[in-house]
């Protein structure tokens, strides 16, 4: 396959042919008029014939130039349309990575409101505990539970990851849970949960030794809450996510004592992308939309 002439020269020819002006082509391309003329000379040498007829105060396409111009212009139009379409797809799709608990207990129920307010933006949500690498993965924003805010990223607190014990009404009655120490008799869904020990200390209960027997771990708060609703034991969860379950009687929060270890649920994205229209639209929607979650926690931000 024979090599194409330099793309810079082809681009200069397309602009000059369209404007029939070296001056206007140079302005469009951000080049000097001399540089445009040089690129045209390179192309004429490759083609082996003049592409323009130089006349006083005007130029015209030569026979060879007139034969080349329509196909070259069509090719550049195709490229412009292709990149415009690709840019539209990128700008019109918001990719969100979220930790599973936030995704299942708030985002899934509310993301439709964002789409109603922003019908030009499609949304893709992936629920995963995986930490996104914005440099190598195609996500625009992430929602993470953390206490360590990484440099180079913008962070917006959506909700403090507070914790309190919850269990089914049946277990409350079965184990006669009347004071915090009574929880020690209730089966623990995750017996070595650090939230459990922190909460017991906060409630003034002597912390029992870590069990040395084998036990299962569900590994995600939303799974532990599902097990608690099913009556399998006590789960340490973030109360703001389960207000509806408490109101409906599926879960009981037997005590008002709330713990917090500094973790929070944050919206995060690269500093360099803070002005991206779709990221700005999502940020401007989700931060006010989660205000009700934050205000229900009873702590000042």
pLDDT in tens, 241-282: 999 999 999 999 999 999 999 999 999 999 988 889 999 999
Rounded-to-integer distance, Cα 184 and Cα 176, Å:
11
Domain stops at, among 65, 87, 109: 87
pLDDT at 87: 57
So what's the pLDDT on residue 135? Answer: 82
Q: Give me the residue label for tokens 């919206």.
A: 267
pLDDT surpasses 60 at 174: yes
List Cβ neighbours of 184 (8 Å cut-off, separation of 6 or more): 200, 205, 208
Average pLDDT score, the chain: 89
Q: Give me the pLDDT at residue 81, please.
A: 67
Residues 177 and 225 in one domain: yes
Domain that holds residue 19: 7-87
State residue 214 phi and psi, 5-degree precision.
Answer: -65, 145
pLDDT score at 145: 94
Domain check: are 258 and 268 in the same one? no
Residue 300 covered by a domain: no
CB 117 within 8 A of CB 289: no
Count of domains forming the chain: 3
Is the confidence at residue 213, as pLDDT, over 70? Answer: no
Q: How confident is the model at residue 13 (pLDDT cuts 50, 70, 90)?
A: very high
CATH number, domain with residue 141: 3.40.190.10
Under 8 Å between Cβ of 225 and 163: no
- Give me the pLDDT at residue 234, please: 96
pLDDT at position 1, please?
43
Q: What mean pLDDT is predicted for residues 191-214?
A: 85
**For a pLDDT cut of 70, what percent of the chain falls above it?**
92
What's the pLDDT score for residue 216? 63
Tell me what pLDDT residue 176 has.
Answer: 96
Same domain membership, residue 111 and residue 20: no
Would you give the DSSP letter of residue 231?
A: T
Please indicate, yes or no, whether residues 207 and 224 belong to a single structural domain of this protein: yes
Looking at the fold, whether 186 and 246 belong to one and the same domain comes out as: yes
Q: Is residue 194 part of a domain?
A: yes
Kindly state whether residue 297 falls inside one of the protein's structural domains.
no
CB-CB contact of 199 with 259 (8 Å): yes
* Mean pLDDT computed over 53-70: 89
Per-residue confidence band for 138, with pLDDT thresholds at 50, 70 and 90: confident
Give the contacts of 141 (CB within 8 A, at least 6 positions apart): 94, 95, 96, 97, 267, 268, 269, 279, 282, 283
Instruction: State how far the Cα of 97 lies from the Cα of 63, in Å rounded to an integer.
Output: 57
Average confidence (pLDDT) over 95-124: 94
Same domain flag for 71 and 197: no
**131-135, 225-229, 235-239: range with lowest mean pLDDT:** 131-135
275 located within any domain = yes
249 shares a domain with 104: no
Domain boundary among 25, 55, 87: 87
């Amino acid at each position: 396959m024979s090599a194409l002439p330099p793309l810079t020269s082809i681009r200069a020819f397309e602009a000059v042919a369209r404007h029939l002006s070296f001056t206007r082509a140079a302005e469009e391309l951000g080049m000097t008029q001399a540089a445009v003329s040089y690129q045209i000379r390179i192309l004429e040498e490759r083609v082996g014939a003049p592409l323009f007829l130089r006349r006083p105060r005007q130029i015209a396409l030569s026979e060879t130039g007139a034969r080349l111009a329509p196909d070259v212009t069509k090719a550049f139009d195709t490229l412009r349309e292709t990149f415009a379409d690709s840019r539209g797809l990128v700008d019109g799709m918001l990719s969100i990575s979220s930790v599973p608990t936030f995704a299942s207990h708030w985002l899934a129920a509310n993301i439709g409101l964002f789409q109603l307010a922003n019908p030009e933006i499609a949304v893709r949500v992936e629920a995963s505990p995986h930490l996104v690498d914005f440099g190598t993965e195609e996500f625009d924003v992430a929602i993470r539970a953390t206490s360590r805010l990484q440099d180079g990223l913008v962070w917006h607190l959506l909700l403090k990851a507070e914790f309190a014990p919850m269990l089914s009404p049946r277990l409350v009655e079965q184990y006669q849970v009347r004071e915090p120490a009574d929880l020690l008799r209730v089966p623990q869904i995750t017996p070595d949960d650090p939230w459990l020990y922190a909460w017991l200390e906060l409630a003034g209960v002597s912390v029992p030794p870590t069990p040395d027997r084998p036990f299962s771990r569900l590994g995600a708060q939303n799974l532990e809450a599902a097990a608690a609703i099913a009556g399998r034991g006590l789960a340490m969860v973030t109360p703001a996510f389960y207000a509806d379950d408490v109101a409906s009687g599926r879960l009981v929060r037997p005590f008002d004592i709330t713990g917090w270890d500094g973790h929070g649920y944050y919206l995060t994205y690269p500093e360099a992308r803070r002005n991206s229209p779709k990221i700005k639209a999502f940020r401007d929607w989700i931060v006010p939309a989660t205000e009700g979650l934050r205000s229900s926690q009873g702590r000042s931000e």
